[in-house]
Amino acid sequence: MKLEQKEKSLLFSETILPDIFFSEYLSDLPGDYLKIYLYMVFLSKYHKEIKWNDLSKKLNIPLKIVNDGIKYLEENNLILKKTTGYIVIDLQEATLRNLYTPNLTMSKEKVEQTSKNKSRAKAIEHINNMYFQGIMGPSWYNDIDLWFKKYEFDEQVMIALFDHCYLRGALNRKYVQVVAESWASNKIRTWNDLDQYFEKRENLNKYNKTIAKKLGKYGKLTEYEEAYIENWVLNFGYDMSIIEIALKRTTLKQNPTFEYINNIITDWHDRNLKTANEVQAFLEQRKKQAKSTKELKAKVGKTNYEQRNYDNLDFLYANQSIEIKEDKKS
């Protein structure tokens, strides 16, 4: 006995997307790429073929964006290229495969490690409820566990990481990873480390605004200009009293650049000048040296001038003496 199901017409059929798509992929997909993916899912259900030109016309998207979108979907494991075309990947199966990685050599160690991480489990659950409305995608759990191990963040820092990204409207995996890398490179491990880091950043923002105002820059500084200031403040340990001395010296130069200011400040640092008083004393000393050098050059120039005149007179007298002797002979 053969069983059949009546095929629904297009009017009554539906295209289903798994919830894992919304929790894991949707936030990262650019708008046009999302349109391309949804239409490919729709076509795959009917085993249809379509050319990129036709897809471009159908979705009213430029052909270049279609090509870029296909490449993006392939790189992010949403579709798989085959010799005959593309396969829309089963996201539920792919996620399950990524999560299930059997390792028979770590059973006891894993159990012990898990028992020690109850506080981490609570932190992850807090992140899930606070920032994902209780429906955080499964792969996020693996990522957070990896970040705990890789960066050695404590629970408060991990929660603060997600809070930081959430408040900036950038709660996607790539951005969270970038921020985590930045915090780790600044040796942030504990809440106290993070608190000190934020205090430094706040001070740097004040420096940026003050310096920009003094230089007449009313737009936002570039990241390279901010990097110069960060180096002066954090690495050189200079405060505004020293930096302002350098800024005042820009009045001697037309259209001064940050590189010009940086050369001045770096020279002071290389000379081991640590306070504004030491910098001022150095500048005064250099000013006196320049004045002495100028006076010495003037004195040498005058002496040379007088010597030249004396030599010329001797030459003149010698010539006159020769002429007188010749007259007497004649």
* Residue-wise pLDDT tens digits, 88-126: 877 777 776 665 554 434 334 444 455 456 788 888 889
Q: In angstroms, rounded to a whole number, what is the distance separating the alpha carbons of residues 4 and 1?
A: 10
Residues near 85 by beta carbon (within 8 Å), at least 6 away in sequence: 49
Three-state DSSP state, 291 = helix
Torsion of CA 195, 119, 21, 102, to 10 degrees: 130
Torsion of CA 296, 300, 305, 311, to 10 degrees: 160
Contacts for 246-252: CB closer than 8 Å, 24+ residues apart: 247/211, 247/214, 247/215, 250/215
Give 281-312 pLDDT, tens digit per residue.
Answer: 999 998 888 777 776 676 666 565 555 555 55
pLDDT at 276: 93
Contacts for 242-251: CB closer than 8 Å, 24+ residues apart: 242/268, 242/275, 242/276, 242/279, 243/207, 243/211, 244/214, 245/276, 245/279, 245/280, 245/283, 247/211, 247/214, 247/215, 250/215
Angle of helix 118-131 relative to helix 138-151, nearest 10 degrees, comes to: 130
| More confident: 328 or 242 | 242
> Over the chain, what is the mean pLDDT?
80
| Residue 323 clears pLDDT 90, i.e. is over it | no
pLDDT mean over 203-218: 89
| Residue 196 clears pLDDT 80, i.e. is over it | yes
pLDDT at 307: 57
Q: Percent of the chain scored above 90 by pLDDT?
A: 25
- Tokens 């820059």 belong to 217
| More confident: 277 or 120 | 277
| Residue 241 clears pLDDT 90, i.e. is over it | yes
Q: Pick from 91, 168, 183: which is nearest to 137 by CA?
A: 91
Least confident residue range of 115-119, 129-133, 247-251, 289-293: 115-119
**Cβ proximity of 85 and 79 under 8 Å:** no
Query: Residue 164's pLDDT band (boundaries 50, 70, 90)?
Result: very high
pLDDT at 263: 93
pLDDT mean over 156-162: 94
Three-state DSSP state, 67 = helix
pLDDT at 170: 86
Checking DSSP bridges between strand 85-88 and strand 79-82, what pairing results, if any?
Answer: antiparallel
pLDDT mean over 240-247: 92
Q: In angstroms, rounded to a whole number, what is the distance separating the alpha carbons of residues 221 and 195?
A: 25
Q: In angstroms, rounded to a whole number, what is the distance separating the alpha carbons of residues 9 and 236?
A: 72
